[in-house]
Amino acid sequence: MPSTGERYNASSLNAEDTVNFSAIIRRTGEVSIVDLTGQLTSFASGALRDTVGGLMRQGRKKIVLNVHGLLYLDSSGVGELVNCYMSVIKHGGEMKVVGLTPKIEEILKITQLYRIFQEFHDEETALQSFPDNRKKESA
């Protein structure tokens, strides 16, 4: 059963430009599910970096990003997604994406990132796509 873990919030210093972004980590076995909500912009990208970096330091290399709650993604946010993905791969991990909204899916298509990120329609399918999880189910 997934458990709610750490929560990372980012906000700018200017009240008019308050950034609404959070990354909440849930765990299902060896897989960490990171629920992203709000706006992933240059103001908030550090929170995503910290979240993924923390998982890597803990040895948690199987990550599912749930972007269903992501309302806005700018070029800095796109860059941070790529940086996080590359960091996970360099550490021998895997990162999958679920919950693409039409807006976020369009951004990934325009930037050609849909070719990089393994996208799944739901969490269960993404979880089953990790090799160790398939073995456990078939055993």
Task: Decide if 13 is inside a domain.
Answer: no
> Could you tell me the residue range of the domain that residue 83 belongs to?
19-138
Q: Which pLDDT tens digit goes with each residue over 10-57?
A: 443 344 455 589 999 999 999 999 999 999 998 888 899 999 999 999
- Please, is 59 exposed, middle or buried when counting C-beta atoms within 10 Å of its C-beta (0-12, 13-18, 19+)? exposed
Task: Decide if 14 is inside a domain.
Answer: no
Task: Decide if 82 is inside a domain.
Answer: yes
Task: Decide if 9 is inside a domain.
Answer: no
Task: Decide if 7 is inside a domain.
Answer: no
Task: Decide if 67 is inside a domain.
Answer: yes
The distance in angstroms from the start CA to the end CA of the chain is 19
Task: Decide if 78 is inside a domain.
Answer: yes
Count of domains for the chain: 1
* Strands 118-120 and 94-98, bridge-based pairing: parallel
Indicate which CATH number applies to the domain containing 62.
3.30.750.24
Q: Which pLDDT tens digit goes with each residue over 59-102?
A: 999 999 999 999 999 999 999 999 999 999 999 999 999 999 99
